[in-house]
Amino acid sequence: MSIPNNLRYTKTHEWVRVEGNTAVVGITDHAQQELTDIVYVEPPHAGDNVEAGHQCAVVESVKAASDIYAPVSGEVIAANTELASSPELVNQDAYGHGWLFKVKMSDPPQVDELLTPDEYANHIGE
């Protein structure tokens, strides 16, 4: 199971990669393995405001539908449009091409409240 060191994590299995004032958000390798084959992704839309800890997207697999929670607050500036026709990208490349959305952070220090890679590994029992 992959837990990249350059990301921060939530207890609800989202990851964040900080790029300046932007947070790129996706679900973890652990989450996609638990869901199995992802068949549909409904990310938030550009222009939507999201609030840390609040539901903002949905990922559906052959097994279940899961709510996705915003790890940070801000304005959505992009959604991964490739996922509309290729939701399996989340399974194939959870930390790369399978990203879900990007947020212009309204409170960048919120990232510091997220789990470190070691804390996330402990959280999932790795």
The whole model's pTM is what?
A: 0.96
Q: What domains are defined for the chain?
A: 8-107 (2.40.50.100)
Residue 58 CB neighbours (<10 A): 14
- Per residue in 50-76, pLDDT tens? 999 999 999 999 989 999 999 999 999
- Per residue in 12-37, pLDDT tens? 999 999 999 999 999 999 999 999 99
- Torsion 89-26-9-37 (CA) sign: negative
Full DSSP string of 4-39 = -TT-EE-TTSEEEEEETTEEEEEE-HHHHHHH-SEE
What is the rounded average pLDDT of the residues 4-16? 98
Q: Are 69 and 55 in contact (CB under 8 A)?
A: yes
With bands split at pLDDT 50, 70 and 90, how would you rate the model's confidence at 1?
confident
